[in-house]
Structure 1
Amino acid sequence: MKIFTYILSALAIALVIFNATKLDFTNLLEGESVVALITMLAALCALLLLQILRISKAIEKKSKH
């Protein structure tokens, strides 16, 4: 489970970096930049959820002992 969350986190970070290169700062809310912004937001949400999952698994592990 731990390796799986790290792989997904790496993929989400790669998505954020890739989409950051697709941004057109002069027209952020037009064309391909909107898609890049939405994808970056989705990847950041995925990172947040994976972090919550890691923390909850750590709490679960400590509460069992």
Structure 2
Amino acid sequence: MKVATIILSVIALGLIVFNVTKLDFNALLEGENVVALITIFTSLCAIVLLQILRISKRIEKLSKEKRSA
């Protein structure tokens, strides 16, 4: 699970970098810039969700260890 979340986070980061290069900062809310902004925002959301998943799995693992001890 950890490897999968890391791989997906790297892919999302790559999408962010790619779409930042496509932005025209003179007209951010016109044409293809809107698509790039939406993709950047969704990639950031995906990274946050993946980090929450990793943290919840770590908490779950720690709580199982405490119950066993």
What range describes the TM-score normalised by the shorter chain of this pair? over 0.9
- CA distance in structure 1 between the aligned counterparts of 2:51 and 2:9, rounded to whole angstroms: 9
Stretches of structure 2 that go unaligned for 5 or more consecutive residues are: none
2:5 aligned residue: 5
Residue 20 (structure 1) aligns with: 20
Whole-Å Cα distance in 2 between the matches of residues 22 and 28 of structure 1? 11
Identity of aligned residues (%): 66
Report the counterpart of residue 53 of structure 2 in structure 1: 53
Unaligned runs of 5+ in 1: none
Scaled by the length of structure 1, the TM-score of the pair is: 0.98
Per the TM alignment, residue 12 of structure 1 is displaced from its structure 2 partner at its CA by: 0.2
Once superposed, which parts of structure 1, at least 4 consecutive aligned residues long, lie more than 2 Å away?
none
CA RMSD of aligned residues (A): 0.4
**Count of residues in Structure 1 that have an aligned counterpart in Structure 2:** 65
